[in-house]
Amino acid sequence: MRLLLTGSSGWLGQTLAPRLQALGHDVVGLDPVPSAHTAIVGSVADREVVRSAFGGGRIQAVIHAGALHKPHIERYTASDFIATNVTGTLNLLEESIAHGVERFVFTSTTSLMISRRIRAGRAGGARQAEWMTEEMSPQPRNIYGVSKLSAEHLCRLYHEQSKLPVVVLRTGRFFPEADDMAHVIKQSDANTKANELLFRRLTVADAAEAHVVALDKAPDVGFDIFIISAPPPFSRDDRAALIDDAPAVVARYFPDYPQIYARLGWTMFDSIDRIYDPSHAARRLGFTCRTSFSELLAELRATGQG
Ligand SMILES: NC(=O)c1ccc[n+]([C@@H]2O[C@H](COP(=O)([O-])OP(=O)(O)OC[C@H]3O[C@@H](n4cnc5c(N)ncnc54)[C@H](O)[C@@H]3O)[C@@H](O)[C@H]2O)c1
């Protein structure tokens, strides 16, 4: 398939572009930042750039991963977020429809599901962890979330009007950098990322693979939104205990984790305030992340690091 990949110079794009090429796809990368995977250096916010991207040969599919995201909030204005994430998505949807594109995958974010109340967690008086599903009505807490939710609505609207198949992937965290709250987190970066695999993180390889599966399934799906995150071991019955004493809950599922963690000098978060449930993607897309906390622990055992 000949496809347009936006954000091709980014962290996800650099994993996804070679994966798509290995599957035999002809990938046209579009990004304002030049890279080996970017044929068109330009912005999705520029309608002429987007239009000409469809003109150079028949594009059959679009994967729209290019965005300003959370780390950019400090450096860019709200208008920049709207131009890139909302107008950019609108440009791509309209040109896709005008050029007969057959499928469209939009990279969204679980971040848009976090309201100020959910973010406050136990300190804000939460008595149990939030069980996060696609059924919730998000109330994003910042311009990044608002712009991504607006883009999701555009995806739904244009699907309804044109029947263009659109799959929205609300991915959890897969960034390699340390958390922007690292200064208040007790754990090291590797420890933090391991803990997060229990409820809010996935590997970049899994994020890329979710896009491959979404591309494949888009015509069957029509339109839908999916949370993409490593499968959590927990059940809804654990919600109160996760807020009160997360290490005890994790030890019930992984009895040897305290020993493995102790040898690494790692600790579990005291409290887990939200769990992203990726089961809708498992059921409807047939996609489950390969790497979860369970695989990570097995790896730590096998390499003797644990
Ligand atoms: N990294 C995460 O943890 C995470 C979590 C959830 C969702 N996401 C989403 O995944 C996607 C990829 O994120 P990433 O981690 O690879 O981030 P990244 O910043 O490494 O990559 C994003 C890419 O988009 C490009 N871009 C910025 N403005 C653009 C524009 N106007 N037109 C076209 N491209 C533009 C950037 O130059 C960059 O190469 C984004 O849509 C992001 O919102 C990321």
**Going by CA atoms, what residue is nearest to atom 15 of ligand 1?**
11
CA dist., res. 18 & res. 228, Å (int) = 21
Residue 60: closest CA among 211, 205, 168, 216? 216
Over residues 47-98, the pLDDT tens digits come to 999 999 998 778 999 999 999 997 788 899 999 999 999 999 999 999 999 9
CA dist., res. 26 & res. 67, Å (int) = 22
Q: How far is the CA of 276 from the centre of ligand 1 (A)?
A: 21
Q: How far is the CA of 207 from the centre of ligand 1 (A)?
A: 12
User: Ligand 1 — pocket residues by CB below 6 A?
Assistant: 6-7, 9-13, 30-33, 43-45, 65-69, 84, 88, 107, 109, 171, 173-175
CA diameter of the chain: 58
Is this structure's pTM higher than 0.95?
Answer: yes
Over residues 35-51, the pLDDT tens digits come to 999 999 999 999 999 99
Task: Please tell me the predicted confidence (pLDDT) of residue 180.
Answer: 76
The strand order across the sheet containing 166-171 reads: 40-41, 26-31, 2-6, 61-64, 103-109, 166-171, 223-228
